[in-house]
Chains A and B, each alone.
Chain A
């Protein structure tokens, strides 16, 4: 491979810009001092204990996990059949339909949030939880459509036809052949969707209320009031969990396939 010094330096710079701030957070989390400061004063695990015993964090963590799981399942239930219809069906205006499913990617989330707030909560009188769930589902739909669509596009349509020719009806051919081939795509879509929902701030910020708050929003509130390493410890825990999930994903499906899916 030919050396490309400019590209290589930019890549290294990119990594530094991304990783250095994260390292600061991780290091401060182990501080023994009372304020969020670098370099940290001493070493202790007290702030981790403080984080996991802090009720607002733990309650909102559970809320966030439920919300992410619920929105992911809903987005897949809506998005996967839509993707299959778009890719394999003989429907007119495929491009338009796909565009509609992908649009949450480009419409600013605050706008989506505001629209949902006005229409669903004020207009229809839906509660926060349902509105948040719907909002997050819309947010994740592009992932469901794009990632499963990519693995569907890679799959040879003749494989399903082969099953039909051997005597399987359309439903059986789908269940025994197409669905197993889509599994890595579904897994990737679910993973990305889950992480996206879990990390989302703008939508959750607009649609929250006192009963139901997500973890990122709670953490945001927290930094505005108290400036101590508890927040760094919580962030580090989330980071650790994300790394674990990423490693599992890499082992089972592989990043090339997950992210290859998005870049299609």
Chain B
């Protein structure tokens, strides 16, 4: 199937600052793609170019195979949910959701029916007469979503849709968004800086940094095989090692084994000294110093079960090891 949208060598400059740097990306049809990366890496800028709110300095944006680089937003037929929700404060919930439908010159009864259906889908049917200001953050977010979905957009674009919600609601809404995506079959592009959110929700994950794409893949691919140190770091790999052959590799703290695990299967074995420990209830975070294969002293972080680390105090000498499957080679 041809991609729902494509970025081809797309660059966005603001003055002499390059916010998005020659990115190439295909957004698969009917899937949920996340743009993930730290603040300022160009996620919003990319999304805004796709939506038509800003024009690339160079490059091409195709939507369903058609060059849409210079098409104004109102001609793109995309649904966008803004981080601030951007609801129309002077209109009721139903009027907000019906705004795009009215512009499509649908008969009034059809608009009303579509509005009701969409509010039903996001679970807000009972609030259709309220003004946005009267609603909670979570409800406003659903209205913004309903407003974007109501027009049956060719793509649904979400800019950090969950970041203004409280922690519990945010986790609930992940499932909710996935359900809505599955029910509607929409192609979704979601911007986030929360790796848990991206891992949980994505079909395709796109990691960005400094306006460039660092890695693209399914959550499993990206999480288990980070392409480089930045991606690994961003996804919570804390330990970076170099061996005699100057190959770089990384291990997650929870995959470092402390003490004697000498069954010979370990791909990594280093002598280490405990620097400090931090008790966190279920687990114990142990900071260690070790000398890696290249002869460099490295700071390591091991996440062990609280019970297993009982005897560890600063200065304790121990060994660290990791299974071959957990020692991930990365580009420098």
**A169/B86 contact (C-beta < 8 A), A161-B53, A162-B80 known:** no
Complex interface bits, B75-102 against A, C-beta within 8 A gives 1, otherwise 0:
0111110111011111000000001100
Contacts of B134 in A (CB 8 A): none
B74 touches A165 (CB 8 A): yes
Given the interface pairs A163-B88, A163-B99, the reply to whether A168 lies near B82 with Cβ below 8 Å is no
Interface residues on B, range: 20 to 34
Rounded to whole angstroms, the CA-CA distance of A156 and B74 in the bound complex is 19
Contact mask B129-147 → A, CB, 8 Å, 1/0? 0000000000000000001
Q: Is the CB of A167 within 8 A of B86?
A: no
Say yes or no: is B327 at the interface (Cβ < 8 Å to chain A): no
Contact A162 B88 (CB under 8 A): yes
Contact A161 B100 (CB under 8 A): no
**Contact yes or no, A167 B88, CB < 8 A:** no
Q: Are B103 and A165 interface neighbours, CB within 8 A?
A: no
Q: Which residue from A166, A169, A170 sits with its C-beta under 8 Å from B99?
A: A166
Taking a contact as CB atoms closer than 8 A, the residue among A162, A170, A181 that contacts B90 in the complex is A181
Q: Chain A CB within 10 Å — which of B52, B83, B99, B104 has the most? A: B99
A180 within 8 Å of B by Cβ?
Answer: yes
Interface presence of A256 (CB below 8 A): no
A177 to B99, CA, bound (A): 10
Q: Chain A residues near B104 (CB, 8 Å)?
A: 167
B84→A156 contact, CB < 8 A: yes
Could you say which of B51, B82, B83, B103 contacts A167, with CB atoms under 8 Å apart? B103
Interface residue range, chain A: 10 to 19
Q: Contact check, A158 vs B82: say whether CB atoms are below 8 A apart.
A: yes
A257 close to chain B: CB less than 8 A: no
B73 touches A165 (CB 8 A): yes
- Is B84 in contact with A166, judged by CB distance below 8 angstroms? no
For B51, give the chain A residue with the smallest CB separation.
A165
User: Would you call B315 an interface residue if the criterion is a C-beta within 8 Å of the partner chain's C-beta atoms?
Assistant: no
Q: In the complex, are the beta carbons of A161 and B90 less than 8 A apart?
A: no
Within 8 A of B (CB), among A146-203: 156, 158-159, 161-170, 172-173, 176-177, 180-181
A180 contacts across to B, CB distance below 8 A: 90
B74 touches A162 (CB 8 A): no
Taking a contact as CB atoms under 8 Å apart, the answer to whether A162 and B86 are in contact is: yes
> With A and B bound together, what is the CA distance between A78 and B327 in angstroms?
68
Given A167-B151, A181-B89, check contact A161 B103 (CB 8 Å).
no
B279 to chain A minimum Cβ distance, whole angstroms, is 42
Q: Is B314 an interface residue (CB 8 A)?
A: no
B88 and A161 contact, CB distance less than 8 A: no
Within the complex, the shortest CB–CB distance from B201 to chain A, in Å, comes to 22
Q: For the complex, what is the distance from the CA of A101 to the CA of B77, rounded to whole Å?
A: 39
Nearest CB of chain B from residue A93's CB, rounded to whole Å: 16
For residue B53, which residue of chain A has the nearest CB? A161
Contact with A along B291-326 (1 / 0, CB 8 A): 000000000000000000000000000000000000
Q: Knowing A166-B147, A167-B104 are in contact, say whether A158-B86 is a contact too (CB < 8 A).
A: yes
Determine which residue in B80, B88, B104 has the highest number of CB atoms from chain A within 10 A of its CB, and name it.
B88
Question: Could you tell me the distance between the alpha carbons of A246 and B136 in the complex, rounded to whole angstroms?
Answer: 33
Known A161-B53, A161-B82, A162-B80; judge A167-B89 contact (CB<8 A): no
B114 to chain A, nearest CB (A): 13
* Interface presence of B72 (CB below 8 A): yes
A167 to B76, CA, bound (A): 8
Q: Is the CB of A167 within 8 A of B53?
A: no
Residue with the highest number of chain B CB atoms closer than 10 Å, among A158, A176, A180, A181: A158
With contacts A156-B84, A167-B103, A168-B103 taken as known, whether A161 is within 8 angstroms of B73 at the C-beta atoms is: yes
Q: A164-B72, A167-B100 are in contact. List 19 more A-B contacts (CB 8 A).
A: A156-B86, A159-B87, A159-B89, A161-B53, A162-B82, A162-B147, A163-B99, A164-B53, A164-B74, A165-B51, A166-B103, A167-B74, A167-B103, A167-B104, A168-B74, A172-B103, A173-B74, A177-B88, A181-B90
11 sampled A-B residue pairs with Cβ under 8 A: A156-B86, A158-B82, A158-B84, A159-B88, A162-B82, A164-B72, A165-B51, A165-B73, A165-B80, A169-B72, A176-B99
**Across the A-B interface, the 5 shortest Cβ-Cβ residue pairs:** A166-B100, A158-B86, A167-B103, A162-B86, A164-B73
